Amino acid sequence: MKLSRKDLITIDDITKDDVVKIIEISEMIRMKHRNGELFVPLLGKALACIFRKPSTRTRVSFEMAMFQLGGAALYLSPSEIQLGRGETIADTARVLSKYVNGIMIRTFAHSELVELAENATVPVINGLTDYSHPCQILADLLTIKDKKKMLKGITVAYVGDGNNVCNSWLFAAPKMEMEFRAACPPGYAPDSKVVARSKQLAEESKTKITITEDPFEAVKGADVVYTDVWASMGQEDKAEEKKKDFEKYQVNAKLMAAAHKDAIVMHCLPAHRGEEITDEVMDGPQSVVFDEAENRLHAQKGILALLMNR
């Protein structure tokens, strides 16, 4: 079993069948892990992990995923490799392809990821860029399937910044026949080209995409309420400005009352408690935030097994 593409760049690049495969193999690997069964399809293989952005979940989940699948992960920061001293992305890709069986990169510019994938002969995985965060959304889909027992027909309401996570949801939801609504403050809507592509996918799958400035409109009757930090990494200088712009976009008990009574709450983490989400909601009975975080590990295993076990 393998994916239709060599790389995981965005969810728009892979097929619905690819997403289903990732979820199914992630569930299988998770079950084996919980039952204490050894499953090492990547024995003797190595993943290079390039981090231009610090990370908790991405680093730990990829390193543990490779370890538990029988392989090894190499942490590479810009200061530790020649990429930080002027070597080109293309040359780095060619060299690493001679040493390892896959490359994961977590960086700012999406163009760096694309150039890396174009020049690497091994699979390249998007660990996060400012444009897209596919691994997070694949873990989210795994979590929603766990909790709701289905994906088709589920309504996801995203409240906050129209960022990389929102972009990835816009690609994923219509592909999986889910309704997606995003509530963003004026000036913080998701990428217009991503929205246009999402609406095209929604038309094909006969579902619906809504972009609004009203969080209550987005959340009304939703099955999943999702949020993210207001100021992403690299936007620290805008944090105070964003607090003012986003003050009406907090996921709190009042907003949750508008959702379906069985709605679940999700957050990709790290959370700035008291800003985009309250303690009451994040620690409440509807929250699946920490199950979602655990599923980063299992979804990463599914991705790695399908891309690197060739």
Helices (H), 80-151: 89-99, 110-119, 134-148
Q: Establish whether 5 is a catalytic residue.
A: no
Catalytic residue among 135, 296, 298, 300: 296
Catalytic residue among 30, 110, 133, 298: 133
Rounded to whole angstroms, the Cα distance separating 280 from 270 reads 16
Q: Establish whether 82 is a catalytic residue.
A: no
Catalytic residue among 57, 268, 286, 300: 268
Q: Establish whether 133 is a catalytic residue.
A: yes
Determine the longest span between alpha carbons in the chain, in angstroms: 55
The residue count for the chain: 310
Strand-strand pairing, 72-76 and 264-267: unpaired
Catalytic residue among 106, 110, 181, 298: 106
Burial (0-12, 13-18, 19+ Cβ within 10 Å), 140 = buried
Catalytic residue among 7, 18, 68, 136: 136
Q: Establish whether 106 is a catalytic residue.
A: yes
Catalytic residue among 7, 140, 161, 228: 228
Q: Establish whether 184 is a catalytic residue.
A: no
For the chain, how big is the Rg over CA atoms in Å? 19
Rounded to whole angstroms, the Cα distance separating 119 from 125 reads 13
Q: Establish whether 140 is a catalytic residue.
A: no
Residues serving a catalytic function are: 106, 133, 136, 228, 268, 296
